[in-house]
Amino acid sequence: MKKRPTLGDTPPEEFRRQLHELADWIADFRQDIESLRVAPNDKPGAILAALPAEPPEQGEAFDKILSDVDQVIVPGMVHWSHPMFLGYFGWTTTAPGILGEILSAPLNVNAMTWRTCPAATEVETVVIDWIRQWVGLPRGFDGVVYDTASVGIMHALAVAREEAAPFVRERGLAGRADLPRFRIYASDQAHNAAEKAAIALGIGEENVLRVPSDDEFRMEISLLRKMIAVDRQSGFKPMAVIATAGTTSTASVDAVVGLARLCREEKVWLHIDAAYGGGFAILPEYKWIIEGWSDADSIIINPHKSLFVPLDFSVLYVRELERLRRVFTLAPPDVLRRDTVQTTKNYMDYGVQLGRRFRALKAWVIFRSFGREGITTRLRECVRLANILADWIKSDNRFEIAAPVSMGVVCFRFVDGDDSKIDHLNSEIVEKINASGRAYLTQTKLRDRTVMRIGLGNVLTTEEHLRRAWGMIRETANELNREK
């Protein structure tokens, strides 16, 4: 057997052959994905048991590594890109997205500053502005790309905290003995990234208050107003309100116009978590989503949830981005001293992260490949499928719709049976379908009741796939109901 080189890189001709092999592997995987189980049904530890525990001493051939991917890794995965994967918000894999990811691999830059990679910095700026234009945000909003919305919200709330107590950056929370406890408000449907941010920022998990939501799972503004008043009377300092456009369970959209008014009156930071819903604002018929956004202080949009960009890619917009920079910029470390050109953006100044990959490249490839037209057509198809599914559910009186259908999300419930067992039954339907490997759904709790949930968004999912999934749900409900 040929000895593997221990110095330098793979010889160019061999690398070219491997790349061609990989290109075929990727094309075959994408073409045949439907023949795979959507999810494995193994016990925890199955992958660990199939892989050697000791690290390799000698280098191995790429063919051998790729064959282990086929034998061990691929069967051990939940295939989010499978057309029958209907969990969470659906998924964003597309061929241009795969090309964009591949393209960024050989470039492998570190865009800490403008100087360390001008193109990565400037393409990021361009892509952020394209999304701003598509969504219809005013020019005063500019942004930064992070990996996830959870990280973005932490940064947004760090700015809110600094503006509420403009000495914390230097002296910390203990820097003034009379500093009141901050409060953050979000609806009972909002994502718990708010609590994580509060933990990281020293605000404390219990200072995130959950505001009850109305019948359509939107924050009750009148209750928020009362909670803020009670907190002020008790000596707390209301710091931020988080509105959600596309909540995690039902994709409900909080009424931002009223919240923005209240935040202005109360002088608190308004953050909009549009991780999922923000992308839909590209559609003229969804422009209502952004009403009131121009008054927000910060907005998160996750193109990796609804704009066909692969994980991870999340944009935090801040009205007057300089407010974010002021909180995180430091004198550059000595090693970067000549690298920071102050007239341009150095994205390391806009967050805790120093090293930054060229995430914007994949978004740029996808947005150019699809164009606004391609994106809107695909989003509309996902809304159409969600509504078709809702019609099927409504036409079967053993099921009911559990929340207004919003964007690509449908929450529903099997209701034909003994009420005391119905929550368990709904949960079992989802578990049984997922264990079958033929489709993948999620379940959630709404007002303490278990409901099934389907998220559409995968470009490979067609009406026929959805019909198949609906058939499976009905059959599984019948089977489990008979067994009870």
Ligand X SMILES: Cc1ncc(COP(=O)(O)O)c(C=O)c1O
3-state SS string over 384-404?
HHHHHHHHHHHCCCCEEECCC
Give the CA distances from residue 143 to residues 124, 344, 350, in Å, rounded to whole numbers and listed in that order: 9, 14, 9
In whole angstroms, the minimum distance from the beta carbon of 150 to ligand X comes to 3
- In the list 93, 104, 125, 244, the residue contacting ligand X (rule: CB under 6 A) is 244
Q: Comparing C-alpha atoms, which of 283, 279, 280, 286 is closest to residue 303?
A: 279
- In the list 79, 132, 191, 413, the residue contacting ligand X (rule: CB under 6 A) is 191
In whole angstroms, the minimum distance from the beta carbon of 16 to ligand X comes to 36
- 363 is a site residue for ligand X (CB under 6 A): no
Cis peptide before 416 (omega within 30 of 0): no
Q: Comparing C-alpha atoms, which of 286, 220, 226 is closest to residue 255?
A: 220
Q: Which is nearer to ligand X, 158 or 168 (CB)?
A: 158
- 456 is a site residue for ligand X (CB under 6 A): no
Q: Which is nearer to ligand X, 273 or 349 (CB)?
A: 273
Q: Which is nearer to ligand X, 151 or 321 (CB)?
A: 151
- 453 is a site residue for ligand X (CB under 6 A): no
Do the Cβ atoms of 253 and 214 come closer than 8 Å?
A: no
- 436 is a site residue for ligand X (CB under 6 A): no
Taking CB under 6 A as the binding criterion, the range among 30-38, 54-62, 241-249, 334-342 that sits at the site for ligand X is 241-249
Interaction residues for ligand X, span 330-349 (CB under 6 A): none
Taking CB under 6 A as the binding criterion, the range among 17-25, 42-50, 104-112, 147-155 that sits at the site for ligand X is 147-155
Q: What is the secondary structure of 224-290 as a DSSP string?
A: HHHHHHHHHHTT-EEEEEEEEBS-TTT--B--HHHHHHHHHHHT-EEEEEETTGGGGGGSGGGGGGG
Cα Rg, the chain, nearest whole Å: 24
Q: Which is nearer to ligand X, 191 or 413 (CB)?
A: 191
- 314 is a site residue for ligand X (CB under 6 A): yes
- 248 is a site residue for ligand X (CB under 6 A): yes
Residues of the chain by 3-state class (helix, strand, coil), percent to 5: 50, 15, 35
Taking CB under 6 A as the binding criterion, the range among 78-86, 246-254, 377-385, 451-459 that sits at the site for ligand X is 246-254
115: alpha, beta or left? (left if phi > 0; alpha if psi -120 to 50): alpha
Looking up tokens 């053993």 gives 398
Q: Which is nearer to ligand X, 116 or 189 (CB)?
A: 189
- In the list 10, 18, 148, 444, the residue contacting ligand X (rule: CB under 6 A) is 148
Size of the site for ligand X (CB under 6 A): 14
- 442 is a site residue for ligand X (CB under 6 A): no
Report the length, in residues, of the chain: 484
- In the list 92, 150, 406, 450, the residue contacting ligand X (rule: CB under 6 A) is 150
- 273 is a site residue for ligand X (CB under 6 A): yes
Do the Cβ atoms of 468 and 439 come closer than 8 Å?
A: yes
- In the list 84, 159, 193, 324, the residue contacting ligand X (rule: CB under 6 A) is 193
Taking residues 275 to 294 in sequence order and writing x for each that binds ligand X by CB under 6 A, - otherwise, the string is xx------------------
Interaction residues for ligand X, span 49-68 (CB under 6 A): none
- 195 is a site residue for ligand X (CB under 6 A): no
Taking CB under 6 A as the binding criterion, the range among 71-79, 143-151, 160-168, 218-226 that sits at the site for ligand X is 143-151
52: tokens are: 């050697």
Q: What is the secondary structure of 26-61 as a DSSP string?
A: HHHHHHHGGGS-SS--PPTTHHHHHS-SSPPSS---
Which residue type is seen at 208? V
Q: Which is nearer to ligand X, 37 or 218 (CB)?
A: 218
- 301 is a site residue for ligand X (CB under 6 A): no
- 407 is a site residue for ligand X (CB under 6 A): no
- 254 is a site residue for ligand X (CB under 6 A): no
Which residue pairs from 324-329 have beta carbons closer than 8 angstroms and sit at least 24 positions apart in sequence?
324/144, 324/155, 324/156, 324/159, 324/350, 324/351, 325/349, 325/350, 326/162, 327/158, 327/159, 327/162, 327/169, 328/155, 328/158, 328/352
- 149 is a site residue for ligand X (CB under 6 A): yes
Q: Comparing C-alpha atoms, which of 479, 481, 482, 402 is closest to residue 442?
A: 402
Relative orientation angle of helices 463-483 and 360-394, to the nearest 10 degrees? 50
Taking CB under 6 A as the binding criterion, the range among 27-35, 201-209, 271-279, 370-378 that sits at the site for ligand X is 271-279
| Residue ranges that bind ligand X, judged by CB under 6 A | 148-150, 191, 193, 244, 246-248, 273, 275-276, 302, 314
